[in-house]
Amino acid sequence: MTVTDLQGPHVVLLATGGTISSRAAEAGGAAVASDTGEQVFAGMGIPARHPVRVVDVFRKGSYLLTVEDMIAICAKVRQALAHPQVLGIVVTHGTDTMEETAYLMDLIHDDPRPVVFTGAQHPADSQAPDGPDNLARAIAVAGSPQARGKGVLLAFAGTIYPAAGVRKSHTTRLDAFANPDFGTAGSVSGSGDVSLDRARPAYDPFPLPGAAAGSPRVDLIAAYPGSDSTLLRASLQAGAAGIVLQGTGTGNANRTMCRAVADASAAGVVVVTSTRVEAGAVVPRYGDGGGEDLRAAGAISSGLLRPSQSLVLLSLLLRLGTPQHRIADTFALRGKVP
């Protein structure tokens, strides 16, 4: 059932759009986020494990979100948690960038009550939508006493993941997410039985910056066979304050890109090296344009954080005015398994 007031313990559902809310305007047409939060909740078709209060944030495919949108979602979460009767929060979100918003929320979360992200792979008007089941399970997690103190979680297809390290690993499969380095946090059954087996790392939360215009620009640049410094230097000319370099292997590039990274670092631009590889840490090991040369040029290793979450962490730190040596320390801390 849904509740409209704040009397009694309940879960808050923050609806932001995504496939779970999407329908085609005409038969065979493209799916677009269109259902309200109440419609998404009603689509479960079964009683929720806990009373739920629904709040609409916006209706967008997550491929449209900006960092400012993600900050707005996090602000809504904090606003909802201001009410003492709230057991926890569920955020329905598109899967494309769920890993970014969930990680941003994890970085600033300072409350023992859980925040659980979920969504769907099939639209609401498909023959077999998976959103209703994912939502029912996420509500069960958000209201569970076991989830207190576990931080920000992602619940999808019965598996519960910690926000750090989670990533979309398949474009269409129902079990769309993985977390090869940081592991899973537990599971939730179709009947709402929750099993959680890991505690949240004891990191100090960051403040949530305002979604102000003119925030520092952070770009993602890929290294690939034959890549040169054209895109990286274009990013600098566009005014980037930070760059995440998606390296190959253990975090490698080439001599030309290393020279551009050195120029960027000398100009005060923060460069973080991540990797396109699915799992494993960025390890500065190779010369001749490899990861050790990138480190010598001033690049910071992302550790186990992949490009998507490296961009989120760097964007947050730059918005908070963090000096470069503290940014390096933060990646060293957050980019390893606790």
Q: Which of 76, 110, 85 is nearest to 11 (CA)?
A: 85
Residue 43, judged by CB atoms within 10 A of its CB (0-12, 13-18, 19+), counts as middle
Which residue out of 2, 16, 19, 171 is catalytically annotated? 19
Q: Where are the alpha helices (DSSP H) in 267-306?
A: 291-296
Q: Where are the alpha helices (DSSP H) in the chain?
A: 37-42, 67-81, 98-108, 131-142, 230-237, 255-266, 291-296, 307-319, 324-334
261 within 8 A of 299, measured Cβ to Cβ: yes
Q: Which two tokens stand for residue 147?
A: 């989830």
105 within 8 A of 115, measured Cβ to Cβ: yes
Distance between CA atoms of residues 160 and 37, nearest Å? 22
148 within 8 A of 198, measured Cβ to Cβ: no
Paired with 244 in beta bridges are 220, 272
Distance between CA atoms of residues 109 and 217, nearest Å? 23
The widest CA-to-CA distance across the chain, in whole angstroms, is 64
Q: Which two tokens stand for residue 46?
A: 């079964």
Paired with 31 in beta bridges are 24
Active site (annotated) includes residue 19: yes
Compute the C-alpha angle 259/265/269, nearest 5°: 125
Q: What are the angstrom distances between the C-alpha of 80 and each of 6, 88, 90?
A: 10, 9, 11
Amino acid letter for position 222:
A
Residues with catalytic roles: 19
